[in-house]
């Protein structure tokens, strides 16, 4: 029974694959994030910021947009101590989007930390419980 529980827990952990950018994609990423920051600083909404720097590759655009929202949450909520409600209001996006993105960020951090721990320390010791 306990083995089933362990395998179920492992399956419940989300898997994340982080994209490795080509040099060209990396340049587009940096330019887009900088343009989005300028637009937000000028009082634009998140949607307006995204529209201020169009990205032709739709998959890359989606990834950069998602990352930029994570950056805004990290800076405003974690570093700036703003509530998620205020972050959503100031960016003019739904609270559900901000909360969902926040949850995914926490999952990504947890999985990344667990993976790093496993690589550095060989994982958790085996027990009989």
> How much is the pTM?
0.76
Secondary element (H or E) of residue 85:
helix 84-91
Asked, for residue 114, whether it belongs to a domain, the answer is yes
- 57 domain-assigned: yes
What is the tally of structural domains in the chain? 1
**What does DSSP assign to residue 43?**
T
State the residue range of the domain holding 88.
22-121
Q: Give me the residue label for tokens 């990352």.
A: 67
CA–centroid distance for 57 within its chain: 19
Integer CA distances (angstroms), 1 to 5, 16, 129, in order:
7, 28, 11
Q: Which of 62, 60, 63, 53 is nearest to 32 (CA)?
A: 53
- Residue 115 resides in a domain: yes
| Tens digits of pLDDT across the chain (129 residues) | 444 444 444 445 556 567 789 999 999 999 999 999 999 999 999 999 999 999 999 999 999 999 999 999 999 999 999 999 999 999 999 999 999 999 999 998 888 787 777 777 665 555 565
Assess if residue 13 is contained within a domain: no
């Amino acid at each position: 029974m306990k083995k089933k529980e362990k395998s179920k827990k492992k399956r419940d952990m989300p898997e994340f694959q982080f994209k490795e950018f080509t040099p060209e994609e990396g340049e587009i990423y940096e330019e887009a994030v900088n343009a989005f920051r300028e637009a937000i600083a000028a009082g634009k909404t998140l949607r307006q910021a995204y529209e201020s720097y169009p990205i032709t590759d739709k998959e890359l655009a989606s990834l950069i947009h998602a990352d930029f929202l994570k950056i805004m949450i990290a800076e405003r909520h974690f570093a700036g101590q703003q509530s998620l409600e205020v972050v959503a209001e100031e960016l003019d996006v739904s609270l559900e989007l901000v909360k969902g993105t926040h949850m995914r960020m926490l999952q990504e951090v947890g999985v990344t930390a667990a993976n790093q721990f496993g690589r550095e320390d060989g994982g958790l010791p085996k027990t009989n419980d």
